[in-house]
């Protein structure tokens, strides 16, 4: 397949479909989060945030390593896919059993009795996720990005409806549990049906071992990465309180929601494309375009969100969530940098340099743990601030090797991003001045958003910024290609 693929079209088409999936699913998720936050209380979210620490760590064993190996392996066949499917299911079931039997002790340690039952129920995500992990790898490797769009939208709609009904009827934390679990079930089942890939009755330990030889480094990196990230939540939940954890989690939820618009399309599309086109001369142009697109889209959005958050949070979630404002502002900085870190990490993986990927991430995370150890003595604000410093350091560390691997140094990346940094700074200063107006806060919010968009888009056109032109031309070409495809299909039917 790789020999006959126009990779630039595949990359941008895949990113558009992944973006549409993210736009649809995250828009639905955002609306649901607003409704649920108004119906529920911080303590409900605190229990879920604590539970998610352990489930996320276990889920890393299932979702990382093997699936990345399948995507990276150019000649993966049915034996590879089936072997990984059965291995992933076995690992998931073992991990769920461990969670089930240790749940009472975890609940006692964190002084949250309800955590035991919630952990046992929500832990079912592990075998359910393993059931659909190979379908996800298969769809990604074969550029079937429309499938993700369908499975995500259906899952969010059904799960969201159930969650809202339960929250309205007073189920509290269990509304969040049902929302999360049903969403995963619908998503994986829909993907299982639409991809039409089925596990065969075959297994090869030799193939599993071969995939593991590459994937264990990715797994180790992802696991270490997850442990370091979740360590922040664990410190807040254990040293301070579950409500503090709820505020910090809620503060990060909206920046994270928006940040995934950039991170997920890159992760799902760029990896298989670069793995198949390592010898092509225009690879540097593709990488540069992705970096500029991330900077062009994420910098102004995160800057704007940080500025309007004092007005936006009480409007959306009510004043009971005002303590989350400062955390939202910090995490806006985090998720402005995160997509750039993901691009550079994927570049290393696409070259098959899993050892290098492991080393760079371990170094970055050790620095992060040191910062966490230092800041945890001074309060929740500084714990979250350490995450921002960590992602910045991680970006610098993972970007360095790509200077040699691709000829795309940090200096070249900075030069690519500089126009968007300056434009964002100008827009941010103008938007911030509206805070000094003595009119209704909601009118100020409206004027800030409208002015910010007009300034950014207008100057993009006037200055003819490469990322704006590139994205605009890509969207136009995709619409033209879709119309052409529809015409051809119509003629063939007649």
Q: Tell me 240's DSSP state.
A: I
Given this model, what pLDDT does residue 486 score? 47
Q: Which of the two residues, 480 and 90, has the higher pLDDT score?
A: 90
Q: For residue 230, count other CB atoms closer than 10 A to its CB.
A: 18
In angstroms, rounded to a whole number, what is the distance separating the alpha carbons of residues 228 and 365? 6
The answer to the question of residue 494 being in a domain is no
Residue 85, pLDDT above cutoff 90:
no
Least confident of 66-80, 223-237, 301-315, 366-380: 66-80
Q: For residue 128, count other CB atoms closer than 10 A to its CB.
A: 18
Residue 491, pLDDT above cutoff 50:
no
Q: Which residues contact 196 (CB under 8 A, 6 or more apart)?
A: none
The answer to the question of residue 488 being in a domain is no
Q: Tell me 433's DSSP state.
A: G
Produce one character per residue of 269-298: b if its CB has 16 or more CB atoms within 10 Å, e if not.
bbbbbbbbbeeeeebeebbbbbbbbbbbbb
pLDDT in tens, 136-193: 777 766 666 666 666 677 777 888 888 888 888 888 888 888 888 888 888 788 777 7
Q: How confident is the model at residue 488 (pLDDT cuts 50, 70, 90)?
A: very low
Given this model, what pLDDT does residue 30 score? 76
Residue 494, pLDDT above cutoff 50:
no
pLDDT in tens, 16-27: 556 666 666 667
In angstroms, rounded to a whole number, what is the distance separating the alpha carbons of residues 403 and 191? 38
> Average pLDDT for residues 466-488, to the nearest whole number?
62
In angstroms, rounded to a whole number, what is the distance separating the alpha carbons of residues 164 and 17? 28
The answer to the question of residue 491 being in a domain is no
Given this model, what pLDDT does residue 493 score? 46
Given this model, what pLDDT does residue 60 score? 78
Q: Which residues contact 120 (CB under 8 A, 6 or more apart)?
A: 99, 100, 103
Given this model, what pLDDT does residue 492 score? 45
Given this model, what pLDDT does residue 382 score? 93
Query: Please, what is the Cα angle at 203 between 198 and 207, to 5 degrees?
Result: 110
Given this model, what pLDDT does residue 142 score? 65
Residue 340, pLDDT above cutoff 90:
no
Using CA atoms of 67, 71, 72, 75 in order, give the dihedral in degrees to the nearest 10. 120
Given this model, what pLDDT does residue 302 score? 94
Quote the domain boundaries for residue 39: 2-479
The answer to the question of residue 317 being in a domain is yes
Residue 475, pLDDT above cutoff 70:
no
In angstroms, rounded to a whole number, what is the distance separating the alpha carbons of residues 140 and 18? 10
pLDDT in tens, 382-441: 999 999 999 999 899 988 888 887 788 888 899 989 999 999 999 999 999 988 888 888
Average pLDDT of every residue of the chain: 79
The answer to the question of residue 487 being in a domain is no
**Can you tell me whether residue 114 is helix, strand or coil?**
coil
The answer to the question of residue 182 being in a domain is yes
DSSP string spanning 64-85? Answer: SSHHHHHHH-TT--HHHHHHHH
In angstroms, rounded to a whole number, what is the distance separating the alpha carbons of residues 234 and 350? 32
Q: Tell me 439's DSSP state.
A: S
Which two three-digit tokens encode residue 15?
């990113």
pLDDT in tens, 276-286: 554 555 677 77
Q: Long-range contacts made by residues 70-73, C-beta under 8 angstroms, separation at least 24?
A: 70/134, 70/137, 70/138, 70/141, 70/211, 71/137, 71/140, 71/141, 71/271, 71/272, 71/275, 72/214, 72/271, 72/275, 72/349, 72/350, 72/352, 73/211, 73/214
Q: For residue 108, count other CB atoms closer than 10 A to its CB.
A: 12
Given this model, what pLDDT does residue 2 score? 44
Q: How confident is the model at residue 370 (pLDDT cuts 50, 70, 90)?
A: very high
Least confident of 12-26, 90-104, 370-384: 12-26
The answer to the question of residue 96 being in a domain is yes
Which two three-digit tokens encode residue 257?
């929601």
Which two three-digit tokens encode residue 86?
């059965």
Given this model, what pLDDT does residue 452 score? 93
The answer to the question of residue 203 being in a domain is yes
Residue 375, pLDDT above cutoff 60:
yes
Specify the number of domains making up the chain.
1
The answer to whether 224 and 176 have CB atoms below 8 angstroms apart is no
pLDDT > 70: what percent of the chain?
79
């Amino acid at each position: 397949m790789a020999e006959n693929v126009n990779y630039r079209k595949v990359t941008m088409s895949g990113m558009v479909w992944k973006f549409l999936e993210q736009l649809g699913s995250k828009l639905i998720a955002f609306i649901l989060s607003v409704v649920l936050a108004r119906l529920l209380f911080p303590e409900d979210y605190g229990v879920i945030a604590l539970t998610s620490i352990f489930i996320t760590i276990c889920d890393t064993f299932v979702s990382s390593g093997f699936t990345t190996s399948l995507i990276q392996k150019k000649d993966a066949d049915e034996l590879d896919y089936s072997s990984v499917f059965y291995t992933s299911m076995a690992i998931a079931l073992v991990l769920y059993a461990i969670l089930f039997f240790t749940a009472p002790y975890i609940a006692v340690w964190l002084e949250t009795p309800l955590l035991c039952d919630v952990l046992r129920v929500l832990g079912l995500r592990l075998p359910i996720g393993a059931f659909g992990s190979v379908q996800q790898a298969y769809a990604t490797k074969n550029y079937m990005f429309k499938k993700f769009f369908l499975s995500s939208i259906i899952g969010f709609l059904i799960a969201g409806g159930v969650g809202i009904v339960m929250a309205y009827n007073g189920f509290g934390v269990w509304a969040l549990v049902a929302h999360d679990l049903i969403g995963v079930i619908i998503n994986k089942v829909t993907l299982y049906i639409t991809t039409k890939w089925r596990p065969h009755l075959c297994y090869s330990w030799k193939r599993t071992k071969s995939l593991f030889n590459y994937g264990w480094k990715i797994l180790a990196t992802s696991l270490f990465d997850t442990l370091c990230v979740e360590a922040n939540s664990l410190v807040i939940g254990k040293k301070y309180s579950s409500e503090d954890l709820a505020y910090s989690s809620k503060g990060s939820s909206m920046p994270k929601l928006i940040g995934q618009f950039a991170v997920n399309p890159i992760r799902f599309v760029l990896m298989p494309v670069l793995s198949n086109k390592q010898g092509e001369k225009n690879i540097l142009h593709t990488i540069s375009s992705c970096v500029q697109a991330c900077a062009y889209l994420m910098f102004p959005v995160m800057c704007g969100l940080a500025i309007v958050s004092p007005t936006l949070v009480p409007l959306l979630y009510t004043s009971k969530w005002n303590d989350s404002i400062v955390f939202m502002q910090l995490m806006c900085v985090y998720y402005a940098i995160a997509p750039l870190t993901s691009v550079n990490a994927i570049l290393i993986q696409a070259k098959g340099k899993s050892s290098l990927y492991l080393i760079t991430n371990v170094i970055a995370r050790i620095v992060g743990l040191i910062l966490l150890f230092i800041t945890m003595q001074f309060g929740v604000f500084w714990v979250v601030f350490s995450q921002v410093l960590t992602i910045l350091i991680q970006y610098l560390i993972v970007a360095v090797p790509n200077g040699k691997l691709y000829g795309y140094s940090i200096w070249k990346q900075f030069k690519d991003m500089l126009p968007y940094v300056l434009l964002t700074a100008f827009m941010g200063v103008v938007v911030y001045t509206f805070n000094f107006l003595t009119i209704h806060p909601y009118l100020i919010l409206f004027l800030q958003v409208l002015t910010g968009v007009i300034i950014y888009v207008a100057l993009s056109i006037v200055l003819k910024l490469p990322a704006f032109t590139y994205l605009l031309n890509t969207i136009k070409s995709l619409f033209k290609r879709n119309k052409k495809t529809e015409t051809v299909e119509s003629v063939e039917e007649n």
